[in-house]
Amino acid sequence: MSASAVFILDVKGKPLISRNYKGDVPMSKIEHFMPLLVQREEEGALTPLLSYGEVHFLWIKHSNLYLVATTLKNANASLVYSFLYKTVEVFCEYFKELEEESIRDNFVIVYELLDELMDFGFPQTTDSKILQEYITQQSNKLETGKSRVPPTVTNAVSWRSEGIKYKKNEVFIDVIESVNLLVNANGSVLLSEIVGTIKLKVFLSGMPELRLGLNDRVLFELTGRSKNKSVELEDVKFHQCVRLSRFDNDRTISFIPPDGDFELMSYRLSTQVKPLIWIESVIEKFSHSRVEIMVKAKGQFKKQSVANGVEISVPVPSDADSPRFKTSVGSAKYVPEKNVVIWSIKSFPGGKEYLMRAHFGLPSVEKEEVEGRPPIGVKFEIPYFTVSGIQVRYMKIIEKSGYQALPWVRYITQSGDYQLRTS
């Protein structure tokens, strides 16, 4: 890939800040971006890739900003988008939120970062942890002229600096599984998949070697333990630090971890599981008078487990008024700006069934435009539980200084893109 320039535009398309990496595309070409985008949008043919003359614009939108890369080449699109997202990620780690204000307030750091992220249109150092070692927000505090080069910029292990020290050596392992679900209006499950991630928070001194053991079915079959309960992982992806060749050979997950937070691996399971929270709904619309909604939610997981922070959002017509609710548990709230009722249940034990009824008035004069049929969405979190049954069997930590380190494991199942269509 190679980008000629990168622009950050405000919502009206005015450049807030830009960096001309290659100098082969006049910077003024960006003026064509917004008109083009608007035109395409009107035609209903908007795509993340636009072209004006010989210039290609690859763009993404983040909050109220557009990030645009220009290029003349027949570039590798997914890499350019990945780079733009990486840029957003780096900025977010610096400014918490990336928006117009944070760009304006931090333009010096933005320039510094743009300078390090890319050179001559090619991505250079994009790891925000490494960048944070030498581009600091305190940089405005005067340095005494001998800013050091962080060792990682030149290290063989590019994701970890040498000489890290902790009093207490600990590793926190979070196993998080998100459930994506799509259910048809007639109640048949169209799509159900589990996306799992294992996130690590590492507080370890030196250059430790870590090995993670999971109840991976392939591994169990390799080692002849196929009777034990195991999980068939699909589509496994690892952080750069994991030695892929070893995993391919004997399914060992071994690595030198980066310091602090990072995502070690992700996997996917498309085995059908019962939807954890099942919703039945009846939305009856009596034109010109009222809407009546009945929603039944059922926890279809183990009785011992409890789903926390359950939020069920049910769509209502945008011209509805005077809401009235009745719930068997939890509370319901009308959010007019999103045209939904949100029914929140703080704790929802497995096997239980709850009910909510809502009543809305409708104006006698119906409005002109037709409305879509948004789905019912569900948010939840079930701690100490994984749908797939994945387990961390061990985490071995070996460092040449020989210290003892403690691994902590936590399991969570949560809702991903969890939608039930309404008729």
Partner 1 sequence: MSQKKRQKPVVWVEQILLKMLPHQDEEEPASYRGSSGSCPGTVRKMPYLGSEDVVKELKKALCNPHIQADRLRYRNVIQRVIRYMTQGLDMSGVFMEMVKASATVDIVQKKLVYLYMCTYAPLKPDLALLAINTLCKDCSDPNPMVRGLALRSMCSLRMPGVQEYIQQPILNGLRDKASYVRRVAVLGCAKMHNLHGDSEVDGALVNELYSLLRDQDPIVVVNCLRSLEEILKQEGGIVINKPIAHHLLNRMSKLDQWGQAEVLNFLLRYQPRSEEELFDILNLLDSFLKSGSPGVVMGATKLFLILAKKFPHVQTDVLVRVKGPLLAACSSESRELCFVALCHVRQILHSLPGHFSSHYKKFFCSYSEPHYIKLQKVEVLCELVNDENVQQVLEELRGYCTDVSADFAQAAIFAIGSIARTYTDQCVQILTELLGLRQEHITTVVVQTFRDLVWLCPQCTEAVCQALPGCEENIQDSEGKQALIWLLGVHGERIPNAPYVLEDFVENVKSETFPAVKMELLTALLRLFLSRPAECQDMLGRLLYYCIEEEKDMAVRDRGLFYYRLLLVGIDEVKRILCSPKSDPTLGLLEDPAERPVNSWASDFNTLVPVYGKSRWATISKCHGAERCGPELPKTSSFAASGPLIPEENKERVQEVPDSGALMLVPNLQLTADYFEKTWLSLKVAHQQVLPWQGEFHPDTLQMALQVVNIQTIAMSRAGARPWKAYLSAQDDTGCLFLTELLWKPENSEMQISVKQNETRTETLKSFISVLETVIGTIEEIKS
Which positions from 319 through 358 interact with partner 1, judged by CB under 8 A? none
Interface positions, 371-410, toward partner 1 (CB under 8 A): 371-375
242 secondary structure, DSSP code:
B
Please compute, for residue 256, the number of CA atoms within 13 A of its CA located in the half-sphere on the CB side.
14
180 vs 305 by CB, closer to partner 1: 180
Which one among 32, 199, 239, 357 touches partner 1, defined by CB under 8 A?
239
CA dihedral 358, 363, 366, 370 (to 10 degrees): -30
Kindly state the greatest CA–CA separation across the chain. Answer: 78
Interface positions, 116-145, toward partner 1 (CB under 8 A): 119-120, 122-127, 134, 139-145
Interface positions, 40-79, toward partner 1 (CB under 8 A): 44-49, 51, 53-54, 56, 58, 60, 74-79
Q: What's the CA gap between 252 and 135, in Å, rounded?
A: 36
- What residues contact residue 416 under an 8 Å CB cut-off, 6+ apart? 178, 179, 180, 181, 195
- What residues contact residue 397 under an 8 Å CB cut-off, 6+ apart? 169, 171, 204, 208, 209, 210, 405, 407
Q: Which stretch binds partner 1 (CB under 8 A): 103-111, 290-298, 388-396, 407-415?
A: 103-111
Helices (H) and strands (E) in the chain, counts: 7, 23
Q: What is the smallest separation between the CB atom of 411 and partner 1, expressed in angstroms?
A: 22
Binding of residue 421 to partner 1 (CB under 8 A): yes
Binding of residue 23 to partner 1 (CB under 8 A): yes
Q: Do residues 171 and 258 make contact, with C-beta atoms less than 8 angstroms apart?
A: no
Which one among 29, 201, 268, 290 touches partner 1, defined by CB under 8 A?
268
DSSP-H helix ranges across 47-99: 77-95
Binding of residue 93 to partner 1 (CB under 8 A): no
What is the β-pairing status of strands 376-383 and 290-299?
unpaired
Interface positions, 175-214, toward partner 1 (CB under 8 A): 180, 182, 185, 190-191
Q: Which stretch binds partner 1 (CB under 8 A): 109-117, 167-175, 324-332, 404-412?
A: 109-117
Which one among 166, 238, 262, 403 touches partner 1, defined by CB under 8 A?
238
58 vs 291 by CB, closer to partner 1: 58
10 vs 259 by CB, closer to partner 1: 10
189 vs 355 by CB, closer to partner 1: 189
Which one among 168, 237, 333, 410 touches partner 1, defined by CB under 8 A?
237
Binding of residue 3 to partner 1 (CB under 8 A): no
CA dihedral 337, 340, 341, 344 (to 10 degrees): -90
Q: What is the smallest separation between the CB atom of 1 and partner 1, expressed in angstroms?
A: 7
Binding of residue 301 to partner 1 (CB under 8 A): no
Q: Which residue's entry shows tokens 């070692």?
A: 133
